[in-house]
Every structure is written in structure tokens, then in C-alpha cells.
Amino acid sequence: MPFPRRFIAWTGGVLAAGLSIPALPTASAAEGSRTLPPVVELGAGSTPASPSSSREVLADLLQQMETLQTEMRNLRGQVETQANEIERLKTRQRELLADIDRRVGELERRGAAAASPEASPGGNAAPVASPDSAREQQDYNAAFALMKQGSYDRAAKSFGDFLAKYPQSALRDNARYWLGEAYYVSRNFRKALVEFDKLLSDYPKSAKAPDALLKTGYCHYELGEWAKARDSFNQAMSRYPGTPTAKSAEQRLAKMKKEKH
């Protein structure tokens, strides 16, 4: 049975209308188009960084390098300062040891003369040694042995005990000097000054007087008392010209001048 013309016309219109309507995206596709970021391809086709951004990065790196170099210079300066201070202390230590060695050698050369009567403050012969002079000498030698061993605190105590125990000893000026020396090498300069001044006051003609005068200058130097140090060194040079004491005083004065003290 043939279709009516009206039905055929209606069917054709529907088909034509269907073909003219665009396809709508599904829900999932629409949602994906909203959430997914755009794809950026890297590589040869990527966009290079801007020149201004590159300059900022380079400037930041240069600033960091300059900061590190400054810190390195500061650290190097601190190391050099510490090295100079260590060298100064080593030099001072060598001077102290050389000074002690010289005096020890002097005492050893004198040998038994250390126990013999020495000049009194007035220049007269000292009294004859007491019967216990052997014990006195033994105590003196024990205190001096502590000095040679570097036990300066014990040596100072032993020499102090010696001076208290033997008020009439012919070795008192020597003991007084080494007591001051024990304080000096221990860097107790105030106490050392007291002992050296006592020696110079009580025994001005002692064989230890030149060294005691020189050491007063050294003590004042270490304490930063430059005027008193210069006075002591000048006295040592004028009182004992041509001696090792005068030479040492002259050298220290030259050092003070170089240091602008």
C-alpha cells in the first residue's frame, strides 16, 4: 500500500530538522572543558624567559657572590689577627724562657758561690752563715728546682717560705728575685713588681739588682704603664752601661718606640 503524500512530506521535514540541529556536548565533556588547564608544549616551541627576568636572576646571583666574598674577607682577616696574636705570644714566651735560661746558667756558673756570704745592703760582708746553713741551702735549691721545672706557683710558695724561715740568710736577695720572677712568668705582674722593688730597696748592691730593675720595666710594660716602663729602662741603661741588662733595656725601648708607646 503506497504511503500517503502527507506522511512522506511530514517525514522529510523531521529528517531535515534533525540534520540542521548541532550536536550538544555531553555533561562529562563540558565539565572537562571547564576544569582541565590548557596544554603547554615544552621544547623547541616553548616561549623563552623574558630578558628582564633573566637580568633579575643574574643580579641576585651576583649579589650572593659579593656577600660570600665579603664574609670570606672578614673571616680571613680574623684568622690573620689570631695568627698574629699567637705569634706574639710565642715570641713573648721565647723571650721569657731565654731570660730564665740565661739566669739559670749564671747561677750554675756561680755554683757554690751562691751559698757563700754576699754583699749586704750597706756593702759590708754578710754575717757568717748559721750552723743550719746546709738546711738553708737545701731549701733554696728545692725552691729553685721548682723554677727550673716550670712549677712557678709552687716555686713562688717555696721562695716565700724561704724568706719567712730565714730572715738573716745571705740568699735572701736571690730568693727575693726568684720570687718576683715566679710571679712574672705567671703574669702576676703586680706581685712581681712588689718583690723586685723590695729587692732594689733592701739590696741595691746585690748582683740581682740590675735584673730586678730591668724586670720592673718589663712589668710596667705588660701592664701598659708606658711612662714607668721607660723610666725603668732608662735607669737600667744609665746605671749599668755596657751590660746585657742595658742592652735588653735599650731593645725594649726601641720596641716601645716602634709600637708608638
> What contacts 53, CB < 8 A, 6 or more positions away?
none
> What contacts 203, CB < 8 A, 6 or more positions away?
119, 121, 172, 173, 176, 209
Which of 63-72, 115-124, 227-236 shows the highest mean pLDDT? 227-236
Does residue 3 form part of some domain?
no
- DSSP letter assigned to residue 123: S
Does residue 214 form part of some domain?
yes
Does residue 78 form part of some domain?
no
Is residue 54's pLDDT more than 70? yes
- At 4 the pLDDT is 53
Does residue 184 form part of some domain?
no
Is residue 189's pLDDT more than 70? yes
Cell reading at 138: 737545701
Amino acid at 48: P
What radius of gyration, in Å, describes the C-alpha atoms of the chain? 48
Does residue 216 form part of some domain?
yes
Average pLDDT for 135-151: 93
Per cent of the chain over pLDDT 70 is: 62
- At 79 the pLDDT is 82
Q: Which residues of 92-103 are buried (b: 16+ CB within 10 A; e: fewer)?
A: eeeeeeebbeeb
Total structural domains within the chain = 1
Does residue 151 form part of some domain?
no
SS3 of residue 128 by DSSP: coil
Sign of the torsion angle spanned by Cα atoms 117, 162, 210, 251: positive
Q: How far is CA 74 from CA 30, 70, 85, in A?
A: 64, 6, 17
Residue ranges making up the domain that contains 225: 208-261
Is residue 231's pLDDT more than 80? yes
> What contacts 83, CB < 8 A, 6 or more positions away?
none
Distance from the first to the final alpha carbon of the chain: 138
- At 91 the pLDDT is 60
How would residue 223 be classed by pLDDT, with cut points 50, 70 and 90? very high
Look at residues 189, 135, 96 and name the one whose alpha carbon lies nearest to residue 143: 135
Rounded to two decimals, the pTM is: 0.55
Does residue 229 form part of some domain?
yes
- C-alpha 163/C-alpha 177 separation (Å) is 11
